[in-house]
C-alpha cells in the first residue's frame, strides 16, 4: 500500500495480507520457502490484526481458545491452516538459523521485546546486532505470526526504546520493507500512525516522501479523518518536510486506493491544510480514467472554489460530455467557473450541443450556415503565439484581425494574445470594447491568472495599473506562482520600489480593488516590511488595516512569533532610532494587535517570551508574563473584549512544565558583559511562579522546579564541572552553596509532596546522585540482568591504560 518514488505509482495494498509481513529479504529466501505450496501472495489467507493476546510473545494459553467442554464448530480448512502455520514457522526458523536461534521457544524469547525489562538479554539489545536489519525482519515476522498488527507495534517500540534507536532512512530496500510494514499497521491504528509521524519528525528521518507516506497511510486506512491533522505537522510553521505537488499527489493516490467511504472528502481537507498547490490537471484526469464521475465532480467543485482552475478546456470535456449524456444543464456547472474567473462558456455550450446531437440529431450551430460566425468552418483552437502576432500587427485594425481569425475558427485567446490586445489599445474605453467584442464573437479567454487580473483591473477603471501589468518583462506564468510573487514583493520592499510594490500587490489580489482586497494588500505589505526590518512601513501598514476596519489574520502574529524565535534575530537589533529595538517593537506590535480587535491564540506569545529570556531582559519578561496572564485568565480582559471563553486549561498548558523549566534557566544564565549572575537575581523565578500559582491558579510542578534548580547549582558547585568546558563558572563564583539553599528556603515556600530521593541536598549538588539502573560504568564489567551481587572490580595485576598511546606512570607501576 506504500508509495513509490514516482508521482502516482503505488505499492500494492497489503495491510491485511499475512504474506507481506512474512516476506524475508529477497536474498534470504530459503529453498524450503521456494518449494512451499504457497502460490502467489494473493492466494494466501488473511489474518486478523487485532489479536486478543497480550504483548508478550512468550508461549502461553491464548485468550481466543474455547473453554473446556464447549462445542467447537467444525472448520473445513482447519488442518490446512495448521499445516500452513507450521510451514511458516519452519521457514522462519531456517531464516533465524544464522543468528544462533534454533528452536521456536528461543525465537519467541528473542522476539519478546515490547518492554524495557531485562535489557541486554536479547540479541537486539547488543551493539553488534542492534542495527542488523535482517534480524529485525525475522523478529517482526515472528511477532506478526503471533500477535498480528500488535506484534508489529512491539517491534517498533523495541527499535526505539531498548537501546540506540534504529534509523529507518530511505537508503536500504530492506529498511524500506520494514518501514512499509509499520505503515501498514498504522493504516488500521490511528494512534500508532500518529506515533510514527511524531517519532519520524523528531528523529529527522531521511525519507523525502515522509508526508506522502504518513498522510497517505491515514487516507488509505480505516481512519481517513485524521489525515488533515497529520498533514498539519509537516507544513510550515511546524515543519518543512512538505515538498509540494509531489507529496500532495501521493496523498491523492492513496485516497483513490482507499476502500473507506469519504477518503476523497478527507483529501480535500488535506488540500486546505497545505500551501496553495495546483493539481487540477492530474487529479481530474486520474478520476476520469478510473471511471469515477461523482468523485470527479466533487473534487472539481472543491478545487475550483479554492482557485485551482483548469488550464485548458480539454480537461472540462469529460464533465460536459457526462452532463450532456444525462441531459443536465450547464448553468450550474459553469457558474462556479465564471465566479472564479475562468472563461470557457462558448466552448462548453458548443461541446454540449454536439454531444446532445447524438440523441436529437444535428447540432444547433450547423443548422444556419449563413448566420454562423464561422461560415460553416469547424471551430478550432489556434496557437496563442499565432493569435498574438495577428493582434500585434499595426497594418490592420483590431476588428479586422479578430474577424479574420474568427472566420478560420478562432475560439479562444490566451495570455500572449491578451497582452498584445492591451498594448495596442490607446485608452481604457477601447480596451473595454475589445473585451466586449470577444464576448460577442463567442471567443473564450481561458483561466490564466494574467488574463483575469487584466480584465478585473480594466473593469475597475484603473488604466495606469493596466499599463503597468502589460508593459513589463514578467512572464504570464509568474502570475500563477503566489510564493514567487511574495518573494518579489519582499525584494521590492527592500529596495523601496513603490511602483513595482503596487503592481505586485495588485497581482497577488487578482486585480480586486474593494476594501477586503485592500486589507489583504496591507497585510501582505506588513509581512514584507517585517521581513525587511522596515518598522516605519510596518506601522503604516497596520494603520491602513485599522482605517479599513479589518482585523489582523492569524498569519501575522504567527510570522511575528517566528521572527522572534530565530536565534539570530533575538539579539539586540537597533532599528531606525536608538531608543527602540526589534524585540521590543515586535512584542509591542503583538500587544497592539490584540488590544485593537485582532484575536489570536495564546501560543503565539511563546516567541516574545523566549526572545526576552534569551536576551536576559528579565524585568520586561516578568511584566509580559503578568500581562499575558491578566489577559487570558478566565474572566479576564480577553474574555471581556471578544466575548469568548478563556479556559484555565489553556493557561495552565502555556505556563506548564516547559515554561517553568526555561524560566529557571533564563534566570541563571549570565548575560553579555557579565561573568556571574547575582544570587538574588537568579532567584527571580520564585516570585514569578508564586504569583502565577497564587493569583492565576497555575499549577507549579514543585518536583521539576527543585531538580532544575539543583542542576543549575551543579554547574556552579559540582566537582565534575571542573573538568568540563564550563569550569569558568566556578572560577568567577564568590557565593557559597549554603547561601543559595537559604535563599531557596526563604523565597520558595513550596513543600515537596513526594519523598525526595536524596538525604543531603548539599551532597547531591557537589557530587551528584546515583546513576540510573541499566547504564554501564567505565572500569566495571557488564553484568547480565540475572547476575546477583555487586560487579567485580578488575584485579590489580591487569594494567588499565588511561591512554593507550600515552601511558601514565601509575600504569607502569602496576607492572
Q: What is the pLDDT of residues 217-254, one digit of tens each?
A: 999 998 999 999 999 999 987 788 999 999 999 999 99
Which grid coordinates are listed for 237? 510553521
Query: Given CA atoms 257, 260, 264, 270 in this order, what sign does their dihedral have?
Result: negative
pLDDT digits (tens, 9 = 90+) for 587-618: 887 887 777 666 777 888 888 888 888 888 88
Residue 447, pLDDT above cutoff 60: yes
On whether both 19 and 103 belong to a single domain, the answer is yes
pLDDT at 450 (0 to 100): 95
Residue 788, pLDDT above cutoff 90: no
Q: Binning pLDDT at 50, 70 and 90, where does residue 55 land? A: very low
More confident residue, 772 or 351: 351
Q: Binning pLDDT at 50, 70 and 90, where does residue 639 land? A: low
Cβ atoms of residues 398 and 434 within 8 Å: yes
More confident residue, 307 or 806: 307
pLDDT at 602 (0 to 100): 81
Residue 368, pLDDT above cutoff 60: no
pLDDT at 322 (0 to 100): 94
pLDDT at 740 (0 to 100): 83
DSSP reduced 3-state for 608:
helix
CA–CA dist 653, 115 (Å, integer): 30
Look at residue 23 and tell me if it is in a domain.
Answer: yes
CA dihedral defined by 736, 740, 743, 745, rounded to 10 degrees?
A: -120
Which grid coordinates are listed for 74? 467444525
% of residues, the chain, pLDDT over 90: 38
What are the Cα distances from residue 721, in Å, to 668, 714, 736, 758? 16, 8, 16, 20
Cβ atoms of residues 794 and 800 within 8 Å: yes
Q: Binning pLDDT at 50, 70 and 90, where does residue 273 land? A: very high
Q: Exposed/middle/buried for 571, CB within 10 Å: 0-12, 13-18, 19+? A: middle
Look at residue 748 and tell me if it is in a domain.
Answer: no
On whether both 39 and 178 belong to a single domain, the answer is yes
More confident residue, 471 or 1: 471
More confident residue, 756 or 733: 733
pLDDT digits (tens, 9 = 90+) for 453-463: 999 999 999 99
CA–CA dist 353, 361 (Å, integer): 10
Look at residue 630 and tell me if it is in a domain.
Answer: no
pLDDT at 727 (0 to 100): 57
CA dihedral defined by 423, 428, 430, 433, rounded to 10 degrees?
A: 110
On whether both 20 and 130 belong to a single domain, the answer is yes
pLDDT digits (tens, 9 = 90+) for 690-732: 999 988 889 998 888 888 888 888 877 776 655 555 555 666 6
- How many structural domains compose the chain? 3
**Nearest to 200, CA basis, from 227, 169, 228, 176:** 169
On whether both 138 and 237 belong to a single domain, the answer is no
pLDDT digits (tens, 9 = 90+) for 254-264: 999 999 989 99
pLDDT at 375 (0 to 100): 46
pLDDT at 749 (0 to 100): 76
Residue 787, pLDDT above cutoff 60: no
What are the Cα distances from residue 41, in Å, to 12, 87, 258, 571, 796? 11, 15, 20, 61, 63
Q: pTM above 0.95?
A: no
Which range, of 97-106, 208-217, 373-382, averages the lowest pLDDT?
Answer: 373-382
On whether both 144 and 93 belong to a single domain, the answer is yes
Of 144, 166, 186, at which residue does a domain stop? 186
What are the Cα distances from residue 39, in Å, to 15, 22, 639? 19, 14, 67
Q: Where are the alpha helices (DSSP H) in 548-646?
A: 555-565, 567-570, 582-595, 606-615, 618-632, 637-642
CA–CA dist 785, 739 (Å, integer): 43
Cα atoms in the 13 Å half-sphere on the side-chain side of 775: 6
On whether both 202 and 174 belong to a single domain, the answer is no
H/E run at residue 740: helix 737-747
CA–CA dist 163, 119 (Å, integer): 8
What are the Cα distances from residue 603, in Å, to 554, 563, 705? 11, 14, 22
CA–CA dist 541, 374 (Å, integer): 53
Look at residue 53 and tell me if it is in a domain.
Answer: yes
Cβ atoms of residues 375 and 409 within 8 Å: no
Cβ atoms of residues 244 and 237 within 8 Å: no
Of 233, 257, 277, at which residue does a domain stop? 277
On whether both 106 and 40 belong to a single domain, the answer is yes
Over the chain, what is the mean pLDDT? 77
**Nearest to 330, CA basis, from 341, 342, 344:** 344
Residue 41, pLDDT above cutoff 60: no
Residue 471, pLDDT above cutoff 70: yes
**For the residues 32-53, what does the mean pLDDT come to?**
34
pLDDT at 34 (0 to 100): 36
Look at residue 510 and tell me if it is in a domain.
Answer: no
pLDDT digits (tens, 9 = 90+) for 664-694: 988 888 766 566 677 788 888 999 999 999 8
pLDDT at 77 (0 to 100): 42
**Location of C-alpha cell 529507518:** 168
Of 256, 277, 298, at which residue does a domain stop? 277
Which grid coordinates are listed for 272? 486546505
Look at residue 264 and tell me if it is in a domain.
Answer: yes
CA–CA dist 120, 230 (Å, integer): 35
Q: List, as one string, the DSSP characters of 62-111.
A: -TTSPPTTPPPPP-TTHHHHHHHHHHHHHHHHHHHGGGT--SHHHHHHHH
Task: Quickly count: other Cβ atoms within 10 Å of residue 63's Cβ.
Answer: 9
**For the residues 634-657, what does the mean pLDDT come to?**
72
CA–CA dist 288, 280 (Å, integer): 12
On whether both 125 and 236 belong to a single domain, the answer is no
Q: Is 595 left (phi over 0), alpha (psi -120 to 50) or beta?
A: alpha
CB < 8 Å & 24+ apart, contacts of 668-674: 668/712, 668/715, 669/616, 670/729, 671/616, 672/616
Q: What single DSSP character describes residue 276?
A: P
Residue 749 φ/ψ, nearest 5 degrees: -95, 10
What are the Cα distances from residue 217, in Å, to 2, 193, 242, 463, 490? 7, 8, 16, 52, 38
On whether both 88 and 9 belong to a single domain, the answer is yes
% of residues, the chain, pLDDT over 70: 71
Look at residue 627 and tell me if it is in a domain.
Answer: no
More confident residue, 77 or 49: 77
Look at residue 300 and tell me if it is in a domain.
Answer: no
**For the residues 48-63, what does the mean pLDDT come to?**
36
On whether both 206 and 182 belong to a single domain, the answer is no
Q: Binning pLDDT at 50, 70 and 90, where does residue 11 land? A: very low
Q: Exposed/middle/buried for 759, CB within 10 Å: 0-12, 13-18, 19+? A: exposed
pLDDT at 576 (0 to 100): 38
Provide the domain limits for residue 205: 196-277
Cβ atoms of residues 205 and 237 within 8 Å: no
On whether both 134 and 8 belong to a single domain, the answer is yes
On whether both 215 and 161 belong to a single domain, the answer is no
DSSP reduced 3-state for 444:
strand
pLDDT at 731 (0 to 100): 66
pLDDT digits (tens, 9 = 90+) for 286-322: 999 999 999 999 999 999 999 999 999 999 999 999 9
Q: Which residues are registered as beta bridge partners of 444?
A: 412
pLDDT digits (tens, 9 = 90+) for 389-439: 999 988 889 999 999 999 888 999 999 999 999 999 999 999 999 999 999
Residue 569, pLDDT above cutoff 50: no
Cβ atoms of residues 407 and 384 within 8 Å: no
Amino acid at each position: 500500500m506504500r508509495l513509490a518514488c514516482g508521482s502516482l505509482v503505488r505499492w500494492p495494498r497489503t495491510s491485511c495480507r499475512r504474506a507481506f509481513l512474512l516476506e524475508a529479504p529477497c536474498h534470504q529466501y530459503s529453498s524450503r520457502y521456494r518449494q512451499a505450496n504457497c502460490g502467489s501472495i494473493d492466494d494466501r489467507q488473511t489474518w486478523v490484526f487485532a489479536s486478543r493476546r497480550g504483548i508478550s510473545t512468550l508461549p502461553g494459553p491464548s485468550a481466543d481458545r474455547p473453554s473446556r467442554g464447549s462445542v467447537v464448530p467444525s472448520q473445513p480448512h482447519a488442518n490446512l491452516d495448521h499445516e500452513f502455520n507450521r510451514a511458516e514457522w519452519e521457514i522462519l526458523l531456517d531464516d533465524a538459523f544464522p543468528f544462533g536461534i534454533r528452536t521456536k521457544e528461543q525465537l519467541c524469547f528473542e522476539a519478546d521485546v515490547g518492554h524495557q525489562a531485562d535489557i541486554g538479554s536479547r540479541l537486539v539489545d547488543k551493539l553488534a546486532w542492534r542495527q542488523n536489519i535482517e534480524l529485525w525482519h525475522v523478529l517482526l515476522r515472528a511477532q506478526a505470526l503471533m500477535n498480528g498488527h500488535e506484534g508489529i507495534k512491539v517491534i517498533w517500540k523495541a527499535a526505539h526504546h531498548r537501546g540506540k534507536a534504529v534509523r529507518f532512512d530511505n537508503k536500504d530496500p530492506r529498511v524500506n520493507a520494514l518501514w512499509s510494514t509499520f505503515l501498514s499497521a498504522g493504516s488500521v491504528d490511528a494512534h500508532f500512525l500518529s506515533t510514527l509521524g511524531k517519532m519520524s519528525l523528531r528523529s529527522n528521518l531521511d525519507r523525502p516522501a515522509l508526508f506522502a507516506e504518513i498522510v497517505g497511510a491515514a487516507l488509505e486506512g480505516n481512519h481517513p479523518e485524521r489525515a488533515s491533522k497529520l498533514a498539519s505537522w509537516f507544513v510550515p510553521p511546524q515543519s518543512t518536510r512538505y515538498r509540494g505537488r509531489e507529496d500532495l499527489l501521493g496523498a491523492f493516490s492513496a485516497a483513490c486506493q482507499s476502500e473507506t467511504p469519504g477518503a476523497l472528502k478527507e483529501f480535500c481537507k488535506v488540500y486546505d491544510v497545505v500551501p496553495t498547490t495546483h493539481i487540477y490537471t492530474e487529479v481530474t484526469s486520474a478520476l476520469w480514467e478510473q471511471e469515477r464521475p461523482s468523485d470527479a465532480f466533487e473534487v472539481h467543485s472543491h478545487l475550483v472554489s479554492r482557485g485551482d482552475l483548469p488550464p485548458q478546456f480539454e480537461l472540462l470535456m469529460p464533465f460536459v460530455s457526462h452532463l450532456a449524456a444525462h441531459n443536465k444543464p450547464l448553468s450550474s456547472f459553469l457558474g462556479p467557473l465564471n465566479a472564479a474567473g475562468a472563461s470557457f462558456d462558448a466552448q462548453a455550450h458548443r461541446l454540449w450541443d454536439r454531444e446532445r446531437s447524438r440523441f436529437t440529431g444535428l447540432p444547433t450551430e450547423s443548422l444556419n450556415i449563413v448566420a454562423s460566425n464561422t461560415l460553416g468552418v469547424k471551430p478550432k483552437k489556434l496557437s496563442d503565439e499565432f493569435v498574438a502576432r495577428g493582434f500585434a500587427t499595426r497594418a490592420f485594425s483590431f476588428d479586422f484581425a479578430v474577424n479574420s481569425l474568427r472566420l478560420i475558427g478562432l475560439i479562444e485567446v490566451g495570455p500572449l494574445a491578451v497582452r498584445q490586445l492591451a498594448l495596442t489599445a490607446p485608452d481604457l474605453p477601447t480596451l473595454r470594447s475589445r473585451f466586449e467584442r470577444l464576448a460577442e464573437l463567442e471567443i473564450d479567454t481561458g483561466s490564466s491568472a494574467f488574463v483575469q487580473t487584466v480584465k478585473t483591473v480594466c473593469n475597475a477603471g484603473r488604466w495606469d495599473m493596466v499599463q503597468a501589468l502589460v508593459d513589463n518583462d514578467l512572464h504570464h506564468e509568474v502570475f500563477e506562482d503566489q510564493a514567487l510573487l511574495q518573494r518579489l514583493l519582499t525584494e521590492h520592499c527592500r529596495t523601496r520600489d513603490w511602483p513595482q510594490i503596487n503592481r505586485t500587490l495588485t497581482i497577488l489580489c487578482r486585480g480586486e480593488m474593494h476594501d477586503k482586497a485592500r486589507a489583504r494588500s496591507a497585510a501582505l505589505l506588513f509581512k514584507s516590511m517585517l521581513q525587511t526590518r522596515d518598522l516605519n512601513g510596518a506601522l503604516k501598514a497596520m494603520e491602513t488595516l485599522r482605517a479599513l476596519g479589518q482585523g489582523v489574520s492569524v498569519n501575522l502574529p504567527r510570522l511575528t512569533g517566528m521572527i522572534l524565535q530565530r536565534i539570530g534575530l533575538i539579539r539586540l537589533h537597533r532599528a531606525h532610532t536608538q531608543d527602540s529595538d526589534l524585540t521590543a517593537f515586535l512584542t509591542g506590535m503583538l500587544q497592539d494587535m490584540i488590544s485593537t480587535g485582532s484575536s489570536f491564540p495564546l501560543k503565539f506569545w511563546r516567541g516574545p517570551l523566549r526572545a526576552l529570556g534569551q536576551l536576559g531582559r528579565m524585568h520586561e519578561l516578568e511584566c509580559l508574563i503578568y500581562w499575558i496572564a491578566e489577559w487570558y485568565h478566565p474572566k479576564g480582559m480577553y474574555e471581556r473584549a471578544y466575548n469568548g471563553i478563556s479556559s484555565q486549561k489553556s493557561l495552565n498548558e502555556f505556563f506548564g512544565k516547559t515554561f517553568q523549566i526555561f524560566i529557571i534557566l533564563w534566570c541563571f544564565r549570565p548575560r553579555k558583559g557579565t561573568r556571574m549572575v547575582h544570587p538574588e537575581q537568579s532567584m527571580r523565578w520564585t516570585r514569578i511562579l508564586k504569583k502565577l500559582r497564587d493569583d492565576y491558579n497555575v499549577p507549579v510542578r514543585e518536583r521539576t522546579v527543585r531538580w532544575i534548580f539543583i542542576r543549575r547549582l551543579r554547574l556552579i558547585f559540582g566537582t565534575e564541572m571542573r573538568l568540563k568546558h564550563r569550569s569558568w563558572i566556578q572560577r568567577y563564583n564568590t557565593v557559597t552553596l549554603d547561601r543559595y539553599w537559604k535563599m531557596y528556603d526563604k523565597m520558595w515556600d513550596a513543600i515537596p509532596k513526594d519523598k525526595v530521593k536524596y538525604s543531603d541536598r548539599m551532597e547531591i549538588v557537589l557530587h551528584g546522585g546515583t546513576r540510573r539502573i541499566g547504564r554501564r560504568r567505565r572500569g566495571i564489567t557488564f553484568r547480565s540482568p540475572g547476575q546477583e551481587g555487586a560487579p567485580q572490580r578488575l584485579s590489580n595485576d591487569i594494567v588499565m591504560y588511561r591512554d593507550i598511546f600515552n601511558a601514565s606512570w601509575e600504569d607502569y607501576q602496576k607492572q
